[in-house]
Amino acid sequence: MSDKDTHLPPVNAMPPLPISQGWMGWNRTGEWRYFDPVHENHLPPCNHACPAGEDIQSFASLLVQRKFREAYDVIRESNPLPSVCGRVCNHPCAANCNRSELDDAVSIRCLERLIGDWGLKNVKTQAAVIDPDKGEIAIIGSGPAGLSAAWHLTNLQYKVTVFEASPKAGGMLRGGIPEFRLPRKTLDAEIHSLVDRGIEFRHNVRIGQDIPIDDLQRFRAILIAIGAHKPRVFDIPGSDLPGVQQGLDFLAEVNCGKRDFIEGNVAILGGNNTAIQCARAALRLGGKPTIYFRRSANEVPAFADQIEEARQEGIEITSLTAPTTIRKTGNELKLTLQRLTLGKRDSSGKRIALSIRGAHTEVTVSRVIVALGEDPDLTFLPRRIDRESWGINTGGTHQTNVGNIFAAGDCADNRRSVGSAIGAGKAAAQSIDRYLHGKTVFVESANRIVTRFADLNVAYFQRSQVVERKKIPDDRRLTSFAEVNIGLAEADALREAARCLSCGVCNSCDNCLTFCPDHAVTKQNGGYKINYDYCKGCGICIHECPRDAIHLRIKQVPR
């Protein structure tokens, strides 16, 4: 160490008083440290839970900065249908939101819906650049999985043709979801944006009937995304009587505009989303629906918000009842129901429903709507494609045993939600791309660490109440097919986005910089730089980071 290092005057120029005037920069206190703090983002739990793989933290943060366009682009990197998903997705992201342990989960669905609607209004989707050398891909089915795969393959510069059996694209979104949940205008607009992107739709073509599947061999790859539309077998005495109808058929009629007045009681059999939607549609057509479900009340498989909305509308769900016979008397149907009780647990841990001897009830109804679940109809597929009783098992790769045939969505997946279908479509697109490039289709998921509530430093977060979406007034709600949920106003949505804690992702709050006792953290390029020459490794920055974006690494000893 020379005088030059210490910035000190020579000895004969020292002041008469003990005034400190050198500097301490020569003292590299980084030598004291035995581990390194590192700025490193972890995975927010919402992003982790999103089956479509959306970067939710990112679009919430962009929304706070009023960067609508960027937020829209971030969602569409994963999901071409934000307006649809903002309305009908069950939002497992919000169920995993860390904020729910502080006060209320962020209303992510409202943010998604607002951004999606903003995009439909303000963004004209540009046609993708198609590389003719990459070849063409056929997609069978235009439900959420097919649309998502088409979108991502187009973004990868493939020419995509989507075959749809019905006159309009949308699959279950159009046939299975009523307008009070998803207005046709929104669905049409989002599908139209996919047409703008350059995806070709061929309507009214049922593969296996209008064209044999082998005629698609000119395509380099085929994706089966036909969904699950075949109702499960319902066979009890009287199940073939007129007035007994399958739920999906009923919904398809309603959604096509065939809305005949329903008089009297309507019995809905089943507890899935189709059942709930049938009941809510029947209510709007004048009927008095009751849902009969054979398992216990807390095992109803429909989404929680659907059940809640049905209850609000006065629809009763009678659990632990099973239909035994249907008889016709005059213009009405007599439905006999067996009361059940819960018995011992079976091998899967579920309690078995047992009949109570002699406990029958009979209800008089004008209609019986059956919604016991759906399976994919795979009869059109060539024999050489392996299948299970519930659908096509691809083991998560989305590739069937026939190399260039892929499968995604409800026909290859038991999760059965719009979000998971969109995620599967995206994954299938990636699989197809890898396959066509001669790579293995199996991709090991990146093992990123998820930030949980316990990882946050909540001292920096104020409690605040969620701004939730509102419903339309009851008089309109129960008598028309108008959309029930009203989205948030822009100001409310921005406030809601600001409630996002940005778990695991640095948002430049400056805590690390402010609290560093050694002045070793500086701002650089919008982020932070730690000066390891002086960082003593006290760990304050790690501990005081509100959002778990700084982590500890064992110190690398220079060689």
Partner 1 sequence: MMLPQNSDRAQESGHLGCPGCGEALGLRLVLEIIGSNAIMVVPACCASYVDGIWPSSAARIPILHVAMGTTAAVAAGIRAALEVKGLNDTHVLAWAGGSGAFDSGLQAISSAAERNEDILYICYNNESYIDMDIHYFTSGSNRRGGGAHADHRRQRTQKNIIEIMAAHHIPYCATACVAYPDDLADKVKKALSIPGFKFMHLLSPCPTHWEIPSELSIELTRAAVETRIFPLYEVEDGTKYAISVLPGTFVPVSRFLSRQGRFANLSAEAIRQIQNRVESQWRQLQRRIELSRGGVSGQVKAKPEKQTAP
- Site residues, partner 1 (CB under 8 A): 6-9, 14, 17-29, 32-33, 457, 459, 462-463, 514-520, 531, 533-534, 536-540, 542-544
For residues 39 and 550, the answer to whether their CB atoms sit within 8 Å is yes
Closer residue to partner 1, CB minimum distance, 24 or 498: 24
Closer residue to partner 1, CB minimum distance, 21 or 556: 21
**DSSP-assigned letter for residue 267:** E
- As measured in angstroms, the least distance from the Cβ of 181 to partner 1 is 39
Closer residue to partner 1, CB minimum distance, 9 or 382: 9
- As measured in angstroms, the least distance from the Cβ of 465 to partner 1 is 15
Closer residue to partner 1, CB minimum distance, 6 or 157: 6
- As measured in angstroms, the least distance from the Cβ of 503 to partner 1 is 19
- As measured in angstroms, the least distance from the Cβ of 543 to partner 1 is 4
Q: Closest by alpha carbon to 196, among 112, 146, 145, 123?
A: 123
For residues 297 and 319, the answer to whether their CB atoms sit within 8 Å is yes
Closer residue to partner 1, CB minimum distance, 21 or 445: 21
Closer residue to partner 1, CB minimum distance, 211 or 509: 509
Closer residue to partner 1, CB minimum distance, 448 or 523: 523
- As measured in angstroms, the least distance from the Cβ of 406 to partner 1 is 50
Q: Closest by alpha carbon to 38, among 553, 511, 556, 504?
A: 553
Report d(CA 38, CA 164) in Å as an integer: 51
For residues 98 and 451, the answer to whether their CB atoms sit within 8 Å is yes
- As measured in angstroms, the least distance from the Cβ of 459 to partner 1 is 6
Exposure b/e, 270-300, CB count within 10 A at least 16 = b:
bbbbbbbbbbbbbbbbebbbbbbbbbbeeeb
Following DSSP, what letter does each residue of 115-172 receive, concatenated? HHHHHHHH--PPPPPP-GGG-EEEEE--SHHHHHHHHHHHHTT-EEEEE-SSSSS-TH
Closer residue to partner 1, CB minimum distance, 102 or 189: 102
Pairing between β-strand 527-530 and β-strand 521-524 as defined by DSSP bridges: antiparallel
- As measured in angstroms, the least distance from the Cβ of 457 to partner 1 is 8
- As measured in angstroms, the least distance from the Cβ of 5 to partner 1 is 11
- As measured in angstroms, the least distance from the Cβ of 101 to partner 1 is 16
Beta bridge partners of 524: 527
Closer residue to partner 1, CB minimum distance, 35 or 234: 35
- Cα 402 from chain centroid (whole Å): 29
- As measured in angstroms, the least distance from the Cβ of 542 to partner 1 is 6
Q: Which two tokens stand for residue 379?
A: 């009869």
Q: Closest by alpha carbon to 305, among 280, 326, 323, 330?
A: 280
Closer residue to partner 1, CB minimum distance, 325 or 531: 531
Closer residue to partner 1, CB minimum distance, 23 or 442: 23
Helix 304-312, helix 273-284: angle, nearest 10? 20
- As measured in angstroms, the least distance from the Cβ of 450 to partner 1 is 22
Alpha carbon dihedral 352, 357, 363, 369, in 10-degree steps, equals 30
Report d(CA 46, CA 104) in Å as an integer: 14
Report d(CA 369, CA 289) in Å as an integer: 10
- As measured in angstroms, the least distance from the Cβ of 501 to partner 1 is 16
Closer residue to partner 1, CB minimum distance, 32 or 442: 32
Q: Closest by alpha carbon to 367, among 258, 286, 271?
A: 286
**Sign of the CA dihedral with 465 first, then 469, 471, and 472 last:** positive
Q: Which two tokens stand for residue 331?
A: 């213009």
